[in-house]
Amino acid sequence: MHTSLLQYQTCLRTNIIQSTSSLAVGSNTRNSNSKLLDPIDILRITHLHKTRISSNKMSTDIIEKLYQNYGILADAKDDISKHEKEYMEILAAVKGSDKEKRLASQFIAKFFHSFPNLADQAIEAQFDLCEDDDVAIRKQAIKDLPTMCKTNKEHTQRIADILAQLLQSEDVTEINVVTNSLLTILKGDPKGTLAGLFSQIHQSTDSEVTNEVVRERCIKFLATKVKQLGREVINKEAEELIIVECKKILEDVVAEEFEYIMELLTWSRLGKTPAGKKELVQLVAALALTPNDWHPEDPEYIDRIIQCSQHALPLFSTQVDSTQFVNFFCDHILKNWNNIATTEGNDIKLELLKIFAEMTEFCGDLDNLQSKVDTVYDVLMNYLPEAPVEGESANDKEGDKTEDSKANAEPSLQFSHVECTLFALHSLCRKSPEVLSTDQAKLKTLRLRLQYTARLTQGYIKKLKEVTNSKKHSSEMSEENKLKITALNTTSNINTLIRDIFRTPPSFKSKVQLSFHTKKSEKEALTVQSDEKETESAGQKRHQPITFDKGDNVSPEKRARSGDRNLKMYTPPSGKYSSRFTGNYSGRGRGGYGRRDFRNNGAPFRRRSNY
């Protein structure tokens, strides 16, 4: 260091001599030589360099002192509490140079547990480092935070709280460090860490200046990491805390948060028992089923109902009924069917019908069943084409028509909508088969349309089977052919349901698997494949036309078997077979999540992907 100073002083002397010589020659020479320094500048540089040398020497002394203090504390062992002075000097180093700060961060955490009287000061000092301008220092301090609560769990909640705030960083590497530190303390003290995270979630909403980023990232962290750690880490006490706090969050939640919170609650013990599932259903119903806040013209409100209902669907079973949801759909959604807000590119109504069809399967006893069946009947009639008059039918038979003219003559039939609505009607009528026969005029009108619909579907089935049989053994199929295969399943379901209505009196004993219902076990899927092979080996069986006169001649056993053959796993048709269905509901839905008053104003919701 002294050698460097002597060299610098020699350089300065040379510059002074050159500057003096230039002054003797004249000011023009001095001005033209920009490399020569003014004597005043030389004195200023000399002063700054001496100051820098002095500062570096002081910093070096402090660093040496830090290492000395570390050695004293490390060697003190049982007498370490007598060396508060040395620990205080380490705490003071957080105001020093970058190297001093990095050393201080490590030393503060290392000896934190030995000075309980200085715990608050130590934590504040470490927090100061977590907010340093230098990202490297911040990351070092964040890494050292878990050490401070390793043996001092009473500080876990406070440290988790500050780590939660640090999740708002825009630096990806820093966020990764914060996440790792949170995981470390979560494994060591689950309840304390969760308490700190939930505290920050509530503060981010309740404070005058809300921090949506912190809240959103905390909730996302909980939803993803808690399930990854599993019950080996998340004990019963921590799980109860999750349930209690998640219920509070649901009181004031937006769309994406709702997704995460429901995932957590479903993962908890509530999602494992019928009683717990009933509780979850009630939580969802409180958010979705608000008759006094029904706005069919508001797309955001409809989105909310869709998202909430989708989370309720997996909870329904023979032990957890869907009656409350079915009542709401019949009394409010289906009765206002023509007022439902729709958006270009998304078939909201199809999504609602799919949800309604699924939930009717586990519906309990309904009040005023006749009224609800009539409501579903009215919606179904919107999607069933009117049968042509006899004169038109005769004209259709005269002469040969090209394929294009036939296609133009055939009405546009939305098979997906028909399947959902017909399935829902079938499910509700099963509770009281005579309910559909109460009004014979309506039943006759329904049968006329269903007879024509069955004729159309049988025509499609014939064409689609040709495609499926030719492509069944192909390793790769085009998207168009896949859609045709799924359409075959949809039309088969429709035919099975129609046959029940043509019995006298109508019977609703057939069981079909909704075409879009993909939640089947591997064993069930293998069984279906086996059944398909058996059907192939038995040969093709010609579909018998459905008519008023011959519909009753088909035995119940044959109808039941026909229904069983259609228990296949596939997705709803699109394109030609359901022109208004886009089949892509992934992503965040429409717009951002600006509104927070979930119950009163609604919020844009993310819809599930359709399968």
CA distance 32 to 446: 104
Q: Which pLDDT tens digit goes with each residue over 580-608? A: 223 333 333 323 333 333 333 333 444 33
By C-alpha distance, which of 455, 357, 473 is closest to 411? Answer: 455
What is the model's pLDDT at position 409?
52
Q: What is the pLDDT of residue 470?
A: 64
Percentage helix, strand, coil for the chain under 3-state DSSP, each rounded to 5: 70, 0, 30
What average pLDDT does this structure show over 116-121?
Answer: 94
Q: How far apart are CA 544 and CA 498, in angstroms?
A: 12
Average pLDDT for residues 479-498, to the nearest whole number?
Answer: 82
SS3 of residue 217 by DSSP: helix
The more confident residue out of 562 and 514 is 514
Alpha-carbon distance of 43 to 45, in angstroms, equals 6
Cα 7 to Cα 11, 21, 165, 196, distances in angstroms: 6, 22, 50, 57
Cα–Cα distance measured from residue 205 to residue 212, given in angstroms and rounded to the nearest whole number: 7
Provide mean pLDDT across the span 293-297: 81
Region 187-210: mean pLDDT is 85
Angle at 14 between CA 12 and CA 20, to 5 degrees: 105
Q: Residue 147 corresponds to which tokens in the numbers above?
A: 């050490």
Evaluate the CA torsion angle 524, 526, 529, 534 in order and state its sign. Answer: negative
pLDDT tens digits, 48-79: 554 554 455 555 778 889 899 899 998 988 88
Of 195, 308, 315, 317, nearest in space to 255 by CA: 308
Q: Do 343 and 302 form a contact (C-beta atoms < 8 A)?
A: no
Would you list the domain boundaries of the chain? Answer: 356-390+414-581
